[in-house]
Amino acid sequence: MNVLLVEDDKEVGEFIVSELREAGHSCVHSCDGEAGHLAATSASFDVMVIDRMMPRMDGLALINTLRAAGDNTPVLVLSALGDVDDRVQGLQCGADDYLVKPFAIAELLARLEVLYRRVKVPGAEEQTRLAVGDLSMDLLRQHVQRDQTVISLQPREYKLLEYLMRHAGQVVTRAMLLEHVWGYHFDPQTNVIDVHVSRLRQKIDKDFEHPLLSTVRGAGYRLGAEIDS
């Protein structure tokens, strides 16, 4: 994944760059809005991470400019402004995701991965059937089965599994699950999501040899056939 990072804070920027490179991604780092604009227009990127408050050109203004010029590269806004209206403002001006500082690097990586896959697999939204290993989901009939066994799920469990299957192989954080499966943006203080996931795990993994749903320590969960142990 080729990432453009526009971030004026030197230390935060360097840290993100080193983490992205360590995760196997290539990364270009610009230190202000104008340099970011120049970089974004002179090369093509898979995803952009843009800080909101920067010298020379504000992050939102930069996104506006890029969108106006027809650049639809997914953008994640990184900001210290975490109010609801700040978030809405950010998403309205064309950003695809919004992450409030301070943040965990695992959260950023997981979200970037999701943004990247979304573009890479066009038409994924219109799929009628999802499959991960021997687990399959029929979106039209709302039917789930693994191997030959039919699995019956509660509506929320179904949504949870659907989200995990759509992002199979990627790390999905608890905050992302809350946002997309429950539709609320909030900070749970306890392991409430873990309980839902473990219930789901009971249903899809319990009687099978290879577990599909794994916990990624310090980050979230990943659904994928290639994971064992």
**43 or 192, CB closer to other proteins?**
192
Residues 107, 175: Cα–Cα separation, whole Å: 8
Which residue's entry shows tokens 């002179």? 42
- Name which of residues 146 to 175 contact other proteins (CB under 8 A): 156
Quick one: which segment of 50-58, 127-135, 138-146, 180-188 binds other proteins (CB under 8 A)?
A: 180-188
225 binds other proteins (CB under 8 A): no
Residue with tokens 């509660």: 154
Site for other proteins in 66-105 (CB under 8 A): 82-85, 100, 102-104
The nearer residue to other proteins, 65 or 89, going by C-beta atoms, is: 89
Residue selected from 53, 124, 131, 192 as contacting other proteins according to rule CB under 8 A: 192
User: Can you point out the beta strands (E) in the chain?
Assistant: 2-6, 26-30, 47-51, 75-79, 97-100, 129-132, 135-138, 143-146, 149-151, 171-173, 213-216, 220-223
Query: Using CB under 8 A, which of the segments 71-79, 189-197, 203-211, 221-229 binds other proteins?
Result: 189-197
Bridge partners, 137 (sequence order):
130, 144
Burial (CB count within 10 angstroms: exposed 0-12, middle 13-18, buried 19+), residue 56: middle
Of positions 24, 183, 206, 229, contacts other proteins by CB under 8 A: 183
Q: Do residues 112 and 3 lie in contact, with contact meaning Cβ atoms separated by under 8 Å?
A: yes
Q: How far is the CB of 88 from other proteins (least distance, A)?
A: 9
Displacement of CA 18 from its chain's centroid (Å): 19
The whole-angstrom separation of Cα 158 and Cα 164 is: 10
Among positions 189, 206, 209, 229, the unique one binding other proteins when judged by CB under 8 A: 189
Binding flag, residue 204, other proteins (CB under 8 A): no
Q: Least Å distance between CB 184 and other proteins?
A: 4
Contacts with other proteins, residue ranges (CB under 8 A): 82-85, 100, 102-104, 156, 182-192, 195-196, 199, 217-218
